[in-house]
Amino acid sequence: MSITGATRIFALLGRPVHHSESPRLHNTWLSALDIDARYVALDVPPDRAHHVPDAMRTLGLAGVNLTVPLKEAVLPHLDALAPSAQAAGAANVIVRDAGRLIGHNTDGSGLVTHLRTQTVDWTRPAVVLGAGGAGRAVVGALLSAGIPRVHLLNRTVARATEVASRFGGRVVPGPLTNPGWREAQSGAGLVIQATSGAGRAAVATLDVSRLHRPLCWVDLNYWDQTPPLRTQLLSQGLDFDDGWGMLVAQAVEALTLFTGHRLPLAHAHSLLGPR
């Protein structure tokens, strides 16, 4: 497909973005759907979050995805939030609607869509590690999908407590430490690793020797070549999901928000081919 003066531009904004697979995903699908658009990744410093809406309007960007550290910082500067972004307290998608910039969140729903294709016991509690933008979105989505209780562990317990206050006792906050982990893991059938940066080091110290099958551990950092605890989990015969399926599922939902086209998840994967 050639690039013309009418070609729409979509972008991923955040820092870092050099590792991102999002441009490959979206450009593959845009080409397959014969849509005159391109998707790029743009590095945005954390202290420039308040400039994102002006940049979108000035440059005429058709829509953007947000990654760390912009998912929460950009919220006060948007014209409106969709219910998905309001519930998560974070946005990973911004779309233009009649000149207004609307924040959405596809992280949580994308994860659930992916998990529906896996073997997950939805009647058992779940543990979410990390209360950042992705973790916050995941908590609400898991509860909506039928998980009875979510233990939310974070290095800053006050942040996990603030998220828990929205869900009337169905979310149990705690510290991202081994004592907090020992209490949270009992009976869990699903663990979502949603930390990054320094949180990753805290996760690496957790004792997973008491986990038992069936259990699915999902690490949302699909780009991480050495995710914490993967070796230990696999040695115990536990299911380890590297986050690729969630990335694809949330991106498919973002594509619909951007273009109006609904791409079946299985077809989206087939167009991409092997990872």
| Residues annotated catalytic, as ranges | 71
Q: What is the DSSP letter of 47?
A: G
- For the CA atoms of 134, 258, 249, 197, the dihedral, rounded to the nearest 10 degrees, stands at -30
How many Å from the N-terminal Cα to the C-terminal Cα in the chain?
23
Which of 246, 233, 251, 256 minimizes the C-alpha distance to 92?
251
Query: Which one-letter amino acid corresponds to residue 215?
Result: L
Which of 14, 10, 13, 17 minimizes the C-alpha distance to 33?
10
Residue 94: which region, alpha, beta or left (left: phi > 0; alpha: psi -120 to 50)? beta
